[in-house]
Structure 1
Amino acid sequence: MGERLRLLRALWRDLTGESAYEHYLVRHRLEHPGHEPMGERQFWRERARLAENDVAGGCC
């Protein structure tokens, strides 16, 4: 039962975007070794800025 809950929680975090920063860190380590990644606060600000400027992602 514990494994199912863990998998469900991981799926929920992926669906809601909560795990986006962790995924960013993994990708950043692979693609830019030795280069300091953005801090979590900066990551979320940049993500929000990009989403606000994404005209193609709008509803209209």
Structure 2
Amino acid sequence: MSAAAADRMVRPVLRAGRWVRWYVRELTDESAYDRYVAHVRRHQGADAEVPSRKEFERRRTDAREGDPREGFRCC
């Protein structure tokens, strides 16, 4: 098998893998931090202070649990 033929076989598999990764990150909202960082940098400048991912997730969870419209958790 030539290198070109191998490349034609591998390229669709890699593309599908990238799509699955993107889909899962969007579905689980794993990409929320990346979107937040991009938003802060765009609106406040490249040198703006951005909270760590851990702090971002903590704030997001606190906000979600503090607002009953966002899906109140009792336990």
Q: Could you state the TM-score of these two structures normalised by the residue count of structure 1?
A: 0.85
1:53 matched residue in structure 2? 66
Flag as ranges the 4+ runs of structure 1 deviating above 3 A. Answer: none
For residue 43 of structure 2, the aligned residue among 3, 8, 31 is 31
Compute the displacement of 1:47 (Å): 0.5
Letter matched to residue 62 of structure 2: R
Q: Which runs of 5+ in 1 are unaligned?
A: none
Q: Which runs of 5+ in 2 are unaligned?
A: 1-12
Query: Considering only aligned residues, what root-mean-square deviation do their CA atoms show, in Å?
Result: 1.3
Q: Percent identity?
A: 31
Letter matched to residue 37 of structure 2: L
Greater relative contact order structure (CA < 8 Å, 6+ sep): 1
1:15 matched residue in structure 2? 27
- Aligned pairs, how many? 59
Decide which moves more: 21-30 or 50-59: 50-59
Compute the displacement of 1:57 (Å): 2.0
2:14 matched residue in structure 1? 2
Q: Which of structures 1 and 2 has the bigger CA Rg?
A: 2
